[in-house]
Amino acid sequence: MSLNALKPAEGSRTRGKRLGRGRSSGMGKTSTRGQKGQGAHNKHKKAGFEGGQTPMALRFPKRGFKNHGRARYAVVNVGDLERVDHSGEITAQVLKERKVVADVLDGLRVLGDGELKRAVTVRAKHFSAGAKAKIEAAGGKALVEA
């Protein structure tokens, strides 16, 4: 095969319509636009035009988006658990009572910043890998609640 023998596949290339070239062409006079009306005139060609309906670009808010259905967690670090003086299981409610977190929200998320020197049992919705490792290394338990 050589470059001068290359041809496009059969039916893949079609000639464009030759509009407005007389009645015998079948596309003369109104040039396939029909009789009168908005479509026959050159008035509605602007990108995004939706026939007088408010265009999509104007229907949506312009300044950011906030997902109100997203779960929000009270976040606490492993270092903060060290200073909680509680002998039993540490939960989000205990941390709120001790004023370590402001609000319980949708649960507790424990992150791994800081050091833990004593064994504690923590019950939370989510633990980072580092937080879980530090709690278990200190002899404690990281319990994931449903």
What is the rounded CA–CA span in Å between residue 84 and residue 93?
A: 12
Indicate the fold that domain 83-144 takes in CATH.
Ribosomal Protein L15; Chain: K; domain 2 (3.100.10)
Q: Which sequence spans correspond to the domains of the chain?
A: 83-144
Phi, psi dihedral angles at 19 (to 5 degrees):
-90, 150
- Residues β-bridged to residue 75: 109
Note the pLDDT tens digit of each residue in 4-43: 999 999 999 999 999 999 999 999 999 999 998 888 887 7
Per-residue pLDDT band at 44 (split at 50, 70, 90): low
Closest CA to 100 of 121, 85, 119: 85
What is the rounded CA–CA span in Å between residue 113 and residue 46?
A: 55
What's the pLDDT score for residue 47? 83
Residue 109 · residue 76 · CB < 8 Å: yes
Per-residue pLDDT band at 52 (split at 50, 70, 90): confident
Note the pLDDT tens digit of each residue in 59-108: 988 888 889 999 999 999 999 998 898 888 999 999 999 999 999 999 99
Q: Average pLDDT in the 42-59 region?
A: 83
- Quick check: pTM over 0.75? no
β pairing state of 108-111 and 74-77: parallel
Closest CA to 104 of 90, 87, 119: 90
